[in-house]
């Protein structure tokens, strides 16, 4: 198998999203949300943390806070809360004018106290759904009881906390609980019970070992992720050796069967990051599948580790996309969408945002997999009123990827002008050090788009500019050289036969590069061969890609049938 955010009217968004749902079903993201939850951004406006915090609250959270303050003797905090909540842009002067009882010199302290009150209210509101808060409260209560010399009561709270920590597979909090249990030992008869003492000592050793493993796995994964976010996939043997050295020299020998769920998740995350980095998507797929299987086999993990489950599904979808496993991809996508049926208490804003992001991204990927660029463009156009604001919610890395994918979507639909529009968002970005590979291939795709638009007067300028950029980022490889030479060598006086001949020669050379482990990464970014085939045959690129996708699926199905026949 080939290894290969925001200011808008709610009603407007609700009606737009409803319309989209009817023709392009996308999941609604948990709880009582009927529209995607967007974040208000305040560019060119003075930022205020209290304003931002209050604006982030859901209706239920606001109602909970107001109920908690209703019987308070001092109502100025509730009054300030309501004044801020009524604003669309934070305006301190307007608040002071609306409420003369607020003393300007004390306003900062008033805001600070309200901020703490809102946070405490959020903590109380979130307690039933966040097991970590429940465990920490039990530890805090244990400390209070210990300080009161109520050691037996302290021990009972610690026992309850330890049970919750075990259910959540939280080794850090478990270790904190064990530290307090050791302190309680010296004040209870349990100190004389040697087997009990030995049990605690062994638990401490075990928790420390698991925490150490998680730290090693996560630190190593962070190192690899930092390299990947700069350069993208490995480009040559030297980079491969460097990444391999970092990975193998720091990875400890572990018995996977003895690892806890948290350890396995961090280990699989590390393996996936490494194998994706070196373009071994098949092996990465295997570890993503292992990650997801942890949750498929143990549904009790859903509530304490829902975010991890969603992340695992995301990686599995990425691998299935890269390997063009369309049928499997569709099944995993359904599994991701099914999570929207979970109770609202399972969700928070962070998880909802990730669900929205992954749903959107993998809808994109589904359209790329099937070659249905026309439907993809229709979806983008329908979402256009909120798309830019949604993009502002994304981190810089996700934004540049989305810009590039959108440009490719328009290119696949033969709308080269719109493709250039989205590519320019990358080309004019100041974050050139982020994903240098995408910046490079965006320049290549920009060149080809201008060629398709007939902007021959711009080709030579863009060729020189692209050469300089690729040399600067040390990403000038045979794939890029072939395209740049090809475009540079074209001139308006060539006959159609001459141009077609050159297209055929370029296609032959590109086909040879597909077998090169370091050159084939380029085909992950842009299906150059399909574009060349469309130019040679005179067919739209979407038609060529759809035919290739159908052929690929027939090959996968045939291989699958052969395996099943051999095993029966």
The model's pLDDT over 414-460, given as tens digits with 9 standing for 90+, comes to 999 999 999 999 999 877 777 888 888 999 999 999 999 988 888 88
pTM of the model: 0.81
pLDDT band at 192 (very low <50, low <70, confident <90, very high): low
Q: What percent of the chain has pLDDT over 90?
A: 55
Q: What's the sign of the alpha-carbon dihedral 89, 91, 94, 100? A: positive
Q: What percent of the chain has pLDDT over 70?
A: 90
Q: Are 58 and 43 in contact, with CB atoms under 8 Å apart?
A: no
Contact residues for 173 (Cβ-Cβ < 8 A; gap 6+) = 132, 135, 136, 139, 161, 165
Please name which of 449, 515, 511, 442 lies closest in space to residue 482, comparing C-alpha atoms: 511
Q: How far is it, in rounded angstroms, from Cα 491 to Cα 476? A: 23
Residue 568, pLDDT > 70, answer no
Among 325-339, 355-369, 547-561, the range with the most confident prediction by mean pLDDT is: 325-339
Q: ∠25-31-36 over CA atoms, to 5°?
A: 50
Q: How far is it, in rounded angstroms, from Cα 81 to Cα 114? A: 8
Q: How many CA atoms lie within 13 A of 445 on its CB side?
A: 35
Q: Can you give the pLDDT at residue 191?
A: 60
Quote the tokens at residue 548.
């290739």
pLDDT tens digits, residue range 25-39? 443 333 332 333 333
Q: How far is it, in rounded angstroms, from Cα 380 to Cα 50? A: 35
Q: Can you give the pLDDT at residue 48?
A: 84
Residue 300, pLDDT > 50, answer yes
Q: What is the mean pLDDT of residues 401-411?
A: 92
Residue 292, pLDDT > 60, answer yes
């Amino acid at each position: 198998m080939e290894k290969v955010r925001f200011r808008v009217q709610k009603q407007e968004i609700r009606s737009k999203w409803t319309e989209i749902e009817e023709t392009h079903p996308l999941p609604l993201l948990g709880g009582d949300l009927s529209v995607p939850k967007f974040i208000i951004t305040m560019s060119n406006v003075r930022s205020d943390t209290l304003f931002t915090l209050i604006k982030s609250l859901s209706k239920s959270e606001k109602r909970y806070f107001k109920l908690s303050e209703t019987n308070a003797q001092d109502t100025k905090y509730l009054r300030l809360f309501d004044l801020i909540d009524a604003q669309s842009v934070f305006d301190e002067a307007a608040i002071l004018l609306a409420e003369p009882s607020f003393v300007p010199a004390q306003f900062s302290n008033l805001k600070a106290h309200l901020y703490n009150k809102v946070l405490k209210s959020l903590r109380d509101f979130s307690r039933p759904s966040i097991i970590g808060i429940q465990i920490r409260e039990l530890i805090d209560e244990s400390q209070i009881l210990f300080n009161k010399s109520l050691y037996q009561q302290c021990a009972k709270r610690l026992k309850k906390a330890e049970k919750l920590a075990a259910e959540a597979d939280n080794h850090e909090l478990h270790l904190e609980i064990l530290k307090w249990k050791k302190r309680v030992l010296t004040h209870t008869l349990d100190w004389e019970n040697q087997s009990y003492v030995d049990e605690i000592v062994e638990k401490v050793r075990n928790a420390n070992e698991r925490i150490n493993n998680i730290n090693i796995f996560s630190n190593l994964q962070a190192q690899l992720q930092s390299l990947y976010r700069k350069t993208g996939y490995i480009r040559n043997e030297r980079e491969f050796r460097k990444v391999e050295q970092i990975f193998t020299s720091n990875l400890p020998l572990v018995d996977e069967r003895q690892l806890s769920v948290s350890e396995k998740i961090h280990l699989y995350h590390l393996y996936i990051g490494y194998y994706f980095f070196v373009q071994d998507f098949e092996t990465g797929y295997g570890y993503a599948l292992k990650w997801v299987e942890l949750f498929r086999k143990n549904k009790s993990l859903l509530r304490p580790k829902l975010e991890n489950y969603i992340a695992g599904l995301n990686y599995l979808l990425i691998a299935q996309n890269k390997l063009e496993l369309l049928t499997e991809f569709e099944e995993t996508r359904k599994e991701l969408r099914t999570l929207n049926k979970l109770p609202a208490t399972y969700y928070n804003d962070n998880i909802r945002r990730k669900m929205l992001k992954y749903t959107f991204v993998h809808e994109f990927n589904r359209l790329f997999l099937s070659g249905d660029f026309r439907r993809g463009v229709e979806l983008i156009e329908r979402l256009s009123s909120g798309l830019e604001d949604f993009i502002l919610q994304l981190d810089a890395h996700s934004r540049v990827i989305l810009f590039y994918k959108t440009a490719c979507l328009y290119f696949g639909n033969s709308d080269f002008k719109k493709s250039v529009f989205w590519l320019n968002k990358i080309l004019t970005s100041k974050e050139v050090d982020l994903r240098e590979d995408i910046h490079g291939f965006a320049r290549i795709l920009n060149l080809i788009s201008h060629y398709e638009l007939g902007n021959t007067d711009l080709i030579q300028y863009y060729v020189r500019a692209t050469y300089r950029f690729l040399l600067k980022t040390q990403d000038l490889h045979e794939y890029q050289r072939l395209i740049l030479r090809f475009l540079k060598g074209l001139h308006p006086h060539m006959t159609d036969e001459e141009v077609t001949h050159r297209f055929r020669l370029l296609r032959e050379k590109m086909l040879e590069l597909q077998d090169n482990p370091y050159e084939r990464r380029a085909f992950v970014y842009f299906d150059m061969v399909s574009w060349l085939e469309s130019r040679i045959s005179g067919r739209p690129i979407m038609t060529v890609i759809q035919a290739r996708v159908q052929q690929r699926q027939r090959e996968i199905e045939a291989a699958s049938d052969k395996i099943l026949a051999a095993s029966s």
